[in-house]
Amino acid sequence: MSLFWIDEAQGIKKSYADLIADMNAKSGCRRCIFYDNPYHIFLELVHSMAYGIGVEMLDSNFSESERSRLGVSPSMLVSETETGGRPIADFEELCTRIDAAKERWSVTIYTSGTTGRPKKVTHSLSTIARSVKQGPRYKDNVWAFSFNPTHFAGLQVFFQAFFNRNPMLYIFDTDKNEVHSLLLKYGVTNISATPTFYRTLLPLMEHPLPDVRIVTVGGEKFDSNVLKDLGRVMPHAKIRNVYASTEAGSLFGSVGEIFEINESLRPFVKISDDRELLIHKSLLGAAEEVSLADGDWYHTGDTVTLLDEHRFVFAARKTEMINIGGYKVNPHEVEEQIKTVDGVLDVLVKSRHNRITGNILVADIVKASGYDEQQLEDSIRNILVSTLQAWKIPRLFHFVNELPKSRTGKKVRT
Q: What is the pLDDT of residues 72-95, one digit of tens each?
A: 899 999 989 988 778 999 999 999
CA 243 – CA 300 distance, rounded (Å): 11
Tens of pLDDT, residue by residue over 109-160, are: 987 543 456 678 899 998 899 889 999 999 999 999 999 899 888 999 999 9
- For the chain, what are the domain ranges? 3-241, 257-317, 322-399
Q: Nearest CA to 262 among 244, 234, 254, 330? A: 254
Superfamily of domain 3-241: ANL, N-terminal domain (3.40.50.12780)
CB-CB contact of 50 with 93 (8 Å):
no
pLDDT score recorded for residue 284: 81
pLDDT score recorded for residue 288: 59
CA 226 – CA 215 distance, rounded (Å): 11
CA 219 – CA 240 distance, rounded (Å): 12
pLDDT score recorded for residue 115: 42
pLDDT score recorded for residue 317: 65
Q: Nearest CA to 184 among 206, 200, 162? A: 206
| β-bridge partners, 12 | 7
pLDDT score recorded for residue 83: 87
Element (H, E) at 169: strand 168-170
CATH number of the structural domain 322-399: 3.30.300.30
What letter does residue 57 receive in the DSSP assignment?
E
Q: Which residues of the chain have pLDDT under 50?
A: 113-115, 406-409
* pTM, to two decimals: 0.77
